[in-house]
Amino acid sequence: MALCFKKQPFTIAAFIIFFLLLSLPHFSASASSNDLSCLKVSPINFTNSAKEIITNLQQVTSNLSRFTGDISHPLLLNTISDCLDLLDVSVDQLYWIISTTQNPKGKDNSTGNLSSDLRTWLSAVLVNTDTCIEGLQGTNVMGLVYADLDRVMSSVKNLLDEVILINDQLPTATSSDQFPSWMKDSDMKLLQANETTADAVVAADGSGNYSNVTDAVFAAPDFNMKRHVIFVKKGVYVENVDIKKKKWNIMIIGEGMDATVISGNRSCVGGSTPFHSATFAVNGRGFIAQDISFRNTAGPEMHQAVALRSDSDLSVFHRCGIFGYQDSLYPHSMRQFYRECTIAGTVDFIFGYATAVFQNCQIIAKQGRPNQKNTVTAQGRIDPNEPTGFSFQFCNISAENETIPTYLGRPWKNYSRTIFMQSHMSNAIRPEGWLEWDGSFALDTLYYGEYNNSGPGAEIANRVKWPGYHVFNDSSDASKYTVAEFIEGDLWLPSTGVNYTAGLVNGKKA
């Protein structure tokens, strides 16, 4: 999975973020977890190490920037440009880490679970660097920056090892089916129905403030401290939308996943890397999308072609459609929640490095190229200390054609982690369940789990016998991958107004 990149030079924005750290209004602090007991080393040593990583990243950026004017090959230019963007974002994330470590009791420190926040952001820096390395592999540029990038990877892994996992959370509820009392009435109306009362209205017919989504996003305030709602009227919007890192707290609402569609057709065969191919990409913090679809129409013969990519921490996708073929959905990094979405594709059509929970979603394998095997997931956990992985609960996994050989996943990276629980699996899922990536690669280091699934494809008698594959017989094992524990959902999801189930329930749906 070679990847793509876009240039964005280092700016004063990183330092603005240092002082505006994590001020999104829907975050709440947990008093029992916002101290430095999660660190194995002194805060001074921890922050000094983070500063050294920033210096290394800036060195790589300086070296890469020299090439952008001398390269004519579009794929390599995209790769370098996107790499510069990712390294720039990594510097911001390291400043979040430094600021939070220096002021651990700050009321705006994201979820308030310092252990989770630090591990999430360090993992994102690791992911960004790995994405950069993977994109540059096989190019003449790699030799000039590899040593510094490899040093960053090693340093971030060392810092991850210095953060102790502490699951310290607010009381867990069985479900959150009501909107929280502190939400504004206008926010609740927007979530309950397709209201047109919003900060901006997009309409292809000219009846709104903007005729395309890109212009509405560009006009949104930077580092916004409150929810900025963009209502997109029904229609097909052919554009590639990129919500940059400064665009915090944006909410996009459509008129239904079958009515409001953002469509593009970038692909690897067409000259993009998967990272750059996304029809809709979001980096800004606290993003929410509801009742809208993201499509990549490039087709199965065009190989990797992403419909949606998210690097937005604490982001939510509610009743969204995500349609493509290979690599449809790219949860690249950070903590993400998908509820009542329909996700369709062929090869590795949910792939990435993020910590993501999918609840009550329709997962559909499509007809790809002749004799092609379909794999639902390809999760990219790089290091055993990373908190990342994919968890599917109350989902329905099926295929357009039940004769297409379909597998739950394959290990893209060494510590790939994916869990399916309390979900229904159709006949399309092969009896062995999971597929190798390349021979015995990662079979003893991956972590794949299944718990209390149903349907003809959920039979475990003939599942793979890999050391890293697990059938959970104890609910306590499965609970680790619920909304409340895996993405600390009780600390931030209630104020989004999106329904969710915090833990395990006895039924098949919630």
Residue whose structure tokens are 């040093």: 151
Q: Catalogue the active-site residues.
A: 348
Please, is 301 exposed, middle or buried when counting C-beta atoms within 10 Å of its C-beta (0-12, 13-18, 19+)? Answer: exposed
CB 91 within 8 A of CB 152: no
Parallel, antiparallel, or unpaired: how do β-strands 469-471 and 447-451 relate?
A: parallel
Within a 10 A sphere around the Cβ of 416, how many other Cβ atoms? 28
- Among residues 381, 388, 249, the alpha carbon closest in space to that of 315 is found at 249
Residue whose structure tokens are 């971030």: 156
CB 92 within 8 A of CB 11: no
What is the token pair recorded at 126? 């690791």
Q: Is 249 left (phi over 0), alpha (psi -120 to 50) or beta?
A: left
CB 448 within 8 A of CB 470: yes
Alpha carbons 14 and 24: distance in angstroms, whole number: 17
Alpha carbons 312 and 333: distance in angstroms, whole number: 7
Give the residues across from 449 on adjacent strands: 419, 470
What is the token pair recorded at 442? 């990662």
Alpha carbons 458 and 372: distance in angstroms, whole number: 22
Instruction: Kindly report the backbone phi and psi dihedral angles of residue 309, in degrees, each rounded to the nearest multiple of 5, phi listed first.
Output: -125, 135
